[in-house]
A and B are shown apart, each in its own frame.
With several copies, the nearest count.
Chain A
Amino acid sequence: MDFIEVRTAPFAVADEFAALRAGNRSDGASAMFVGSVRDFNAGAGVSGLALEHYPGMTEKSLQRIVDDARARWELGRVRLLHRVGAMAVEEDIVFVGVTSPHRQAAFAACQYIMDRLKTEAPFWKLESGEAGDSWVAARDSDRRELEKWA
């Protein structure tokens, strides 16, 4: 019931939602998150970014995060897609979709997966912008968000 994919091609939210729901009669709740490229980070204009990852480790890391979410909540289907490579502003980077019989479980698991992905899945962003290329710095706030799941 897990679909986890690291890919260069864009994804379509419509397809992902359809895959979460098709024939799914028991899960009344679907929570989804999409992360997109913003036009600024730390104040500087951004025109696009290149996403690098650690092939092999990335997939293991994402699977472990999803396994841990399943151990915490009663979940139906989980779909987690993360793009790598070159992306322009407004393009979508990551999709997380979770279904459950329970609304609270769907929300919590979706947020948990994103919080852990942000701090432990081996992805790195190189932004292109007005001031040239620069590596995006990790945020302390992302680390602090993990505390709510401790």
Chain B
Amino acid sequence: MVKVLFFASLRARLGTAEHRLEGFSGSVAELRHRLGELFPDWQPALQAADIQAAVNQEMAAATTQIGDGDEVAFFPPVTGG
């Protein structure tokens, strides 16, 4: 099971903060694609060019590999401080 989190404007656009996906393994880019297939309404927000990803709470690249038990987060550029 992969735990997927969404933050800030992305969470607001998707209307959900968390989704759990069984049986996924692949890259961050592939996970984004898979979520778009599962939830076509999510596609525009999920595919936005500035969306970033973290895997197990570390910033991740599109090619970062994800497997069972991982925590993945998608979010817009950060604006703290």
Complex contact flag A–B (Cβ < 8 Å): yes
Q: Which residues of the other chain, B, contact A124 by a CB distance below 8 angstroms?
A: 7-9, 75-76, 78-80
When chains A and B are docked, how far (Å) is the Cα of A135 from the Cα of B72? 22
Q: Across the two chains, which residue of chain B brings its CB closest to A122?
A: B78
Q: Does B58 contact A (CB under 8 A)?
A: yes
When chains A and B are docked, how far (Å) is the Cα of A137 from the Cα of B12? 15
Q: Which residues of the other chain, B, contact A118 by a CB distance below 8 angstroms?
A: 78-81
Indicate if the CB atoms of A54 and B9 lie closer than 8 Å: no
Could you tell me the distance in whole angstroms from the C-beta of B8 to the nearest C-beta in chain A? 3
Indicate if the CB atoms of B54 and A54 lie closer than 8 Å: yes
Q: Across the two chains, which residue of chain A brings its CB closest to B80?
A: A123
Indicate if the CB atoms of A123 and B59 lie closer than 8 Å: no
Size band of the interface chain A makes with B: 20 to 34
When chains A and B are docked, how far (Å) is the Cα of A124 from the Cα of B50? 14
- Interface SS, A side: mixed
Indicate if the CB atoms of B80 and A54 lie closer than 8 Å: no
Q: Which residues of the other chain, A, contact B79 by a CB distance below 8 angstroms?
A: 118, 123-125, 135-138
Q: Across the two chains, which residue of chain A brings its CB closest to B8?
A: A124
Q: Does A21 contact B (CB under 8 A)?
A: no
Contact (A54, B57) CB under 8 Å given A114-B81, A121-B78: yes
Contact (A117, B75) CB under 8 Å given A54-B5, A60-B57, A124-B9: no
Q: Across the two chains, which residue of chain B brings its CB closest to A119?
A: B78
* 17 residue pairs A–B, Cβ–Cβ below 8 Å: A35-B81, A51-B80, A52-B8, A54-B7, A57-B57, A57-B58, A82-B80, A103-B81, A118-B78, A118-B80, A119-B78, A122-B75, A124-B7, A124-B75, A137-B77, A138-B76, A138-B78
Give the interface of B toward A (CB within 8 A): 5, 7-9, 12, 50, 54, 57-59, 73, 75-81
Give the interface of A toward B (CB within 8 A): 35, 51-54, 56-57, 60, 82, 93-94, 103, 114, 117-126, 135-138
